[in-house]
Structure 1
């Protein structure tokens, strides 16, 4: 099965769908967001993704008053969330910029009002963050939109994923294997889970959302059949922010997309044949011809 998302189709017969996860790496600055969109476009990604929250709803009660050191001074965690959250003017600017750049954009809504907000901007899809897999009210709101859904599965059991799939359905679903460690150590990647998910959710395209340092694990996921890859991107891993260290800088993201495309070409169709490039060596080196 394949799923159309905006300009692209996600599935095993199509080029790997690459998402540049901007998330909150813009630090509340639209100009940084635009520069990160440029990074994704120049690398050859098909989409960029943001995160959308209603801070008063999405911020856990026990975290709201926790002090947070920020570039704007010490503030409560709730005030920090308000400080970095984009509203309608910023997202309209982002939507226009992405459209002109020729790349699709969407976001992870963290609460029901955020789903309604994103629907007002006519996003091409919705992304369910790993933290939201058990938020059935949110999943129901997303399912009601009829838009394609990308479901990350970090920090979740198979039973929790089963329940999410029951709500979301499988007609327009793409699922991403993920481990929600930031940054993720290699021993927690558990890439064979890609095959587990493919067998359990027959027909659902399975991809990979990575939070590791470097490129190797994401590239290995592609060789294991991941049809989509999502990675956080940043202008500089030394920038302030909780996701920056687990993100790829522009050159790293460019190399990732380049290598994913090479792997895509190299995978072939599994039919053993003699290729044109082998004909001359075959004629030169074979002493005994085939019967």
Structure 2
């Protein structure tokens, strides 16, 4: 990737980024990511069912999280006792209990491919980058919590893969430093606010344009809100990708379940995104075919008809 350390100043449109066989950016279909994360609770069958949910809804990708527990678990948390569906255990043992290893991810990868979906993950430590590279993921996702982990960012930059960077809980200066390591070639940013669940007053969706103007890369949205309205508004404001946590049932055990979309919610989100894509148009003011009969019936003076303008003609930019 090409390294840049200064904010962008030109007004040119960001070029789309290739993620495997898909283009993500302006003029392309919104790239919808079903964030499975740890909502599989360490169960491959639940992961398969969530992949099925994403495929049935029309998403393009599913995302997981990959950790090396002894590295990514804070030392002061490792021995803390925790009640889980599998009984009381230390937090470190719990992290191992819900973590997929190679055998599980090979099954996940095969099922995602069968359903026509891309899959990738957020690595939380350097060994996890190598783990995911060995499985040949098409991209890597930087979690908002990892924006300031420069060792991890350097390992990701060294892969040469496109990178999706979430920007929650981060200042512009912290994002500048991350971009200085990752570069902008092959970079997609996701505007995010890391409050779970997200209250509307913290969504700050106009930041989508702030990030696009500053860094000159495609910008999407990663949402943690309840409902669909904020994610749809992000698309209307130009988000080129939308990531939402998904679950089979919001009452399932796990910290992300309550702010996740159930199958019907994801289906409705993708449906409404595709409607919005059609509705946004190209910004040229014109008279459409469907307006001609109402115009002929309702207008007493018709300048188009008197000028002999063709149907659908532009009447000003």
Shorter chain as normaliser: what TM range? Answer: over 0.9
1:139 maps onto 2:153 in alignment: yes
- Out of 158, 162, 165, the position equivalent to 2:172 is 158
1:233 maps onto 2:272 in alignment: no
3-state SS of the aligned residue for 1:26?
A: coil
- In structure 1, the residue matched to 2:68 is 54
Structure 2 portions without partners, runs of 5+: 1-14, 307-317
The alignment's TM-score, normalised by the length of structure 2, stands at: 0.90
- Out of 259, 263, 278, the position equivalent to 1:265 is 278
Cα deviations across residues 47-88 of structure 1 (Å, max 9, x unaligned)?
A: 000000000001112221222111011111111100000000
1:5 maps onto 2:19 in alignment: yes
- In structure 1, the residue matched to 2:3 is none
Structure 1 segments (4+ residues) deviating >4 Å:
none
**What is the rounded CA distance, in whole Å, between the counterparts of 2:171 and 2:143 in structure 1?**
14
Cα deviations across residues 31-51 of structure 1 (Å, max 9, x unaligned)?
A: 000000000000000000000
- In structure 2, the residue matched to 1:14 is 28
- In structure 2, the residue matched to 1:149 is 163
- In structure 2, the residue matched to 1:198 is 212
1:177 maps onto 2:188 in alignment: no
**What is the rounded CA distance, in whole Å, between the counterparts of 1:286 and 1:67 in structure 2?**
75
- In structure 2, the residue matched to 1:35 is 49
After superposition, where does 1:60-139 map in structure 2 within 5 Å?
60-139=74-153
Q: How many angstroms does 1:6 deviate by?
A: 2.0
**What is the rounded CA distance, in whole Å, between the counterparts of 2:139 and 2:187 in structure 1?**
10
Q: Matched residue pairs, number?
A: 290
CA contact (8 A) 1:150 1:173 kept: yes
Q: How many angstroms does 1:7 deviate by?
A: 2.9
Give the root-mean-square deviation of aligned CA atoms.
0.8
CA contact (8 A) 1:7 1:104 kept: no
- Out of 264, 267, 275, the position equivalent to 2:288 is 275
- In structure 2, the residue matched to 1:219 is 232
CA contact (8 A) 1:184 1:213 kept: yes
- Out of 183, 197, 200, the position equivalent to 1:186 is 200
Structure 1 portions without partners, runs of 5+: none
CA contact (8 A) 1:65 1:77 kept: yes
Cα deviations across residues 104-140 of structure 1 (Å, max 9, x unaligned)?
A: 0000000010000000000010000000000000000
Q: How many angstroms does 1:16 deviate by?
A: 0.6
Q: How many angstroms does 1:185 deviate by?
A: 1.1
Q: How many angstroms does 1:279 deviate by?
A: 1.3
3-state SS of the aligned residue for 1:284?
A: helix
The alignment's TM-score, normalised by the length of structure 1, stands at: 0.98
Q: Which entry has the higher C-alpha Rg, 1 or 2? A: 2
**What is the rounded CA distance, in whole Å, between the counterparts of 1:272 and 1:59 in structure 2?**
55
Cα deviations across residues 212-254 of structure 1 (Å, max 9, x unaligned)?
A: 1110110111111111000000000000000000100000000
